[in-house]
Amino acid sequence: MASALRLALLFQLHVVEGKLLSVAVLPHGDFAYDPGLVNRSGGSVQLHTAARELGHDISEETPDLLFVTTPHGLELSERYLVYLNSHNAGASPLDDMPHAAGNRTVPMNFTSPQGLAMQLLEHLQKEKLPAEGLRGFSDAQPLPISWGEILPLSFVQKAREEQGLDLPPVLLMSFPLRRFNHSDSMVPELLRLGSATADFLEALPQRVAWIVSADLAHTHLATGPYGYCPCAQPFDDAVVRWAKDLPAESAAEALLHEGRGWQRAGAASCGFTGLVAAHGAMAQISNLTGQPTWRGQVLAYAHPTYYGMMVARFERQTVLLVLSIALMNLVTAVMVNSSLDQASEDKEVKKAWLAAKKKKQMEELKVMFHELDEDGSGDLSLSEIRSELAGSEDIEQLFMMLDYDGGGAVDADEFCEGVFKAASSDRTSMELGRITKQCNLILANSRVLAKTVVGDEGAGAGPTNATLEGRIGKLESEVSGMRSTMRHLLKLVDNMPS
């Protein structure tokens, strides 16, 4: 297993993290900010707790930039608005329940990256989207902001303050006034807006968190300012299913078909445009990566009064994907390691089996040798082998391989070892073995010859000429035999297939 883990480490995995880290849906309703305004009833506490949790999650991602869409900022009649001032500031009233809020307000100010804001505007216009930029007061004063921007961002700001950090720069966009009566017909355009914005954010060097400022249907109560519509709860249910089901195809159906229909029927959700744009952005990134990239989670949903609110996050699945690849690599490594271990065990088993087989065959060859040795001399001649193996075409070649010293006979060891190798090796290997033995024999005879010629010091008279001539003749005979074998070997090599 340790080997498998080491092998898995060879698969170096790097998380290629996109610039758009996450998408968050945060409410801008007073009761999510302060549940005390409705006596902590109607799910307001759960909304507040979930929003605080999501604010911490966003802060822990350490984004360099927040991209925020708002339905309640500065609004043009027809065009999407990109804020171009370097600073934005204001105070949000808590006036849904004035008697409970006591004229309390929530102040906030933040910076905006002017250069990026202008680049985003130019990008959207290049994509033929109806977008415009606004710079106010010659940038000498901040553009105003209120509840649609301040309350959602307050949850992130609180988490950053607890960490001793400032709020990151905010790139802010608002939706046009036509959303009030025509948001359902804006869906194709909103999807394009989200897709184009995602392309822009992904190309940035900064890490970005996308925040959708959104409340849901505003027609849950007849006593509310927009009256009652039976479409309110179905709209909210469809949006919740969208957030829960993503990345399943049913998510898009829930938001873009069901939710759109209930919005047309009178749900009056201020957040619908922001949700659709965010869906377009996530769909575009999934298209770019070629796989479902986002997974939604609803942290809380409730409608304490006449309007619904949801806290939801959409996490990018890049890290999970890489972990999945790492897991697959680990499994592969374990499988490879097991195969290597099995192969090693198989080699050992095969080695032992071959050794046992050789031992048995050598014993059988010794019995065969003694049967062939008719005169009991302990050597086999070519004639003895011929008499027992008549008709074999390779008898002479086999005998030449066995009789490497050219003596005309082979002993038991030469016979057994040679026949065994001939049966288990190709002919070329046998010839090479024969040459090796001949070379060793020639070397030994050469040493004997040299010693004889030089003679031992103090040994008296040297060898006779007849003795020298006999030994030289034997050496020449062995060299001649080796030459013959070499010619035979070269012929075999030439005939080998290329």
pLDDT tens digits, 89-146: 999 999 776 666 668 899 999 999 999 999 999 999 999 999 999 999 999 999 999 9
Is the residue at 324 inside a domain?
A: no
| Sign of CA pseudo-dihedral 181, 185, 188, 189 | negative
Model confidence pTM above 0.95: no
Question: Are 477 and 356 contained in the same domain?
Answer: yes
Question: Are 358 and 280 contained in the same domain?
Answer: no
Alpha-carbon distances, residue 70 vs 28, 143, 324, 415 (angstroms): 9, 14, 36, 97
More confident site: 6 or 136: 136
- Alpha-carbon gap, residue 116 to 348, rounded angstroms: 67
Question: Are 308 and 361 contained in the same domain?
Answer: no
Percent of the chain's residues with pLDDT above 90:
56
Q: Which residue, of 316, 339, 363, is where some domain finishes?
A: 316
pLDDT tens digits, 69-104: 999 999 999 999 999 999 999 999 997 766 666 688
β-pairing, 170-174 vs 80-83, is antiparallel
Question: Are 11 and 86 contained in the same domain?
Answer: yes
Is the residue at 103 inside a domain?
A: yes
Burial (CB count within 10 angstroms: exposed 0-12, middle 13-18, buried 19+), residue 413 = exposed
Q: Which residue, of 263, 293, 316, is where some domain finishes?
A: 316
Is the residue at 415 inside a domain?
A: yes
Q: What is the pLDDT of residue 10?
A: 41
Is the residue at 343 inside a domain?
A: no
Is the residue at 334 inside a domain?
A: no
Question: Other C-beta atoms within 10 Å of 173: how many?
Answer: 23
Q: Which residue, of 316, 336, 371, is where some domain finishes?
A: 316
Question: Are 355 and 208 contained in the same domain?
Answer: no
Q: What is the pLDDT of residue 3?
A: 46
Percent of the chain's residues with pLDDT above 70:
69
pLDDT tens digits, 346-389: 677 777 777 777 787 777 777 777 777 777 778 777 777 766 65
Average pLDDT taken over every residue of the chain: 83
The CATH number that applies at residue 480 is 1.10.238.10
Is the residue at 441 inside a domain?
A: yes
Q: Which of 300, 28, 276, 75 is nearest to 172 (CA)?
A: 75
- Alpha-carbon gap, residue 334 to 328, rounded angstroms: 10
More confident site: 252 or 395: 252
Range of the domain at 436: 351-495
- Cβ contact 304:43 at 8 Å: yes
Read off the pLDDT band of 6 (50, 70, 90): very low
The domain tally of the chain equals 2
Question: Are 88 and 179 contained in the same domain?
Answer: yes
- Alpha-carbon gap, residue 35 to 311, rounded angstroms: 15
Question: Are 57 and 200 contained in the same domain?
Answer: yes
The CATH number that applies at residue 249 is 3.40.830.10
Is the residue at 329 inside a domain?
A: no
- Cβ contact 119:200 at 8 Å: yes
Question: Are 295 and 360 contained in the same domain?
Answer: no
Question: Are 155 and 22 contained in the same domain?
Answer: yes
Is the residue at 183 inside a domain?
A: yes
Question: Are 285 and 377 contained in the same domain?
Answer: no
Question: Are 393 and 440 contained in the same domain?
Answer: yes
Question: Are 378 and 295 contained in the same domain?
Answer: no
Position 45 pLDDT exceeds 60: yes
